[in-house]
Chain A
């Protein structure tokens, strides 16, 4: 049986359908989850998609963290459920304190949309297991508030424990500290990334299919952990 991967839709989510498609192309079964329903429907993993949850009013991700589904998700993630937050989803993860730091206004103030080169720095998280360390990938990036910030101690800790999963290459598009594009928690089940792997899963619509690796990594990790059969 293929793993069941939930994709949460908030009011204002934009990339939930792309995330659903990426899950399917990777070989998983997608399950649509609704923000107002405090039920994860026994899924094996969850994707928090990009977009503008609740209009990003107040701060990006700030209102989404109080959605009924999030209370269940925070408990489940602390219990080891794999969770991938992409762009706005990454913002929701930091606002929910599932990942350290915060995403702030791009240092140059402009919204940016480009194909972005990244270097994979960690292949021990559940969402990066299929990559090689040092592998360079190209996936779309589109954000206005994507600057990753944290205090120096937290940044040193992230680096020291190998929790930076991807770094911007050639150009830092938003002023992120230490060129950080994505991070994971110590357990490796929760990953946040600012660029969009779900937009790079098919040659017809993406610059590459490099993004598919995040979703196949999840399936590999679930099989290796004995959660689902191969």
Chain B
């Protein structure tokens, strides 16, 4: 089994109102100096067997079509282990 981690985040120029709400909460909890929070998503794909380059290419394709919307989001793919 191999874990492949896909991280998806809103592009920097896209407003993240959820992140902004978290900044407010952090201030109330006494954590000062937080200028910005960006909230993202993480997908952990637990995959049988080895990850070869064909499979990795397939995962990149899925990450750019299903898991993220490239108009507003960026993603990274990381093979664990």
Q: Is B72 an interface residue (CB 8 A)?
A: yes
Contact of A58 among B14, B67, B72 (CB under 8 A): B67
Q: Cβ of B17 and Cβ of A108 under 8 Å apart?
A: yes
Instruction: State the interface size on chain A (CB cutoff 8 A).
Output: 21
Q: Is B50 an interface residue (CB 8 A)?
A: no
Q: Is B13 an interface residue (CB 8 A)?
A: yes
Shortest CB distance B56–A (Å): 21
User: Known: A94-B71, A149-B72, A150-B71. Is A104-B15 also a contact (CB below 8 A)?
Assistant: yes
In the complex, chain A residues whose CB is within 8 Å of the CB of B13: 151
C-alpha spacing A175/B17, complex, angstroms: 10
Q: Cβ of A104 and Cβ of B72 under 8 Å apart?
A: yes
Contact with B along A40-71 (1 / 0, CB 8 A): 00000000000000000011001100100000
Q: Is A101 an interface residue (CB 8 A)?
A: yes
Q: Is A102 an interface residue (CB 8 A)?
A: yes
Contact of B69 among A66, A95, A107, A151 (CB under 8 A): A95
In the complex, chain B residues whose CB is within 8 Å of the CB of A106: 17
Q: Cβ of A102 and Cβ of B69 under 8 Å apart?
A: yes
**For residues 95 through 151 of chain A, which have their beta carbon under 8 Å from a beta carbon of chain B?**
95, 100-102, 104-109, 147, 149-151
C-alpha spacing A66/B65, complex, angstroms: 10
C-alpha spacing A175/B72, complex, angstroms: 15
C-alpha spacing A161/B5, complex, angstroms: 41
Q: Cβ of A109 and Cβ of B67 under 8 Å apart?
A: no
In the complex, chain B residues whose CB is within 8 Å of the CB of A94: 71
User: Known: A102-B71, A102-B72. Is A66-B14 also a contact (CB below 8 A)?
Assistant: no
C-alpha spacing A104/B10, complex, angstroms: 10
Contact of A107 among B15, B66, B71 (CB under 8 A): B15
Q: Cβ of B66 and Cβ of A62 under 8 Å apart?
A: yes
Q: Cβ of A105 and Cβ of B71 under 8 Å apart?
A: no
Q: Is B21 an interface residue (CB 8 A)?
A: yes
Contact with B along A82-96 (1 / 0, CB 8 A): 000000000000110
Nearest 5 CB-CB pairs, A to B?
A102-B71, A102-B72, A109-B17, A107-B17, A105-B17
Given contacts A101-B71, A105-B18, 5 further A-B contacts (CB under 8 A): A58-B67, A100-B71, A104-B10, A149-B14, A151-B13
Interface pairs (24), CB distance under 8 Å: A58-B67, A62-B66, A62-B69, A95-B69, A100-B71, A101-B71, A102-B69, A102-B71, A102-B72, A104-B10, A104-B14, A104-B72, A105-B17, A105-B18, A107-B17, A108-B17, A109-B17, A109-B18, A109-B21, A147-B15, A149-B14, A149-B72, A151-B13, A175-B15
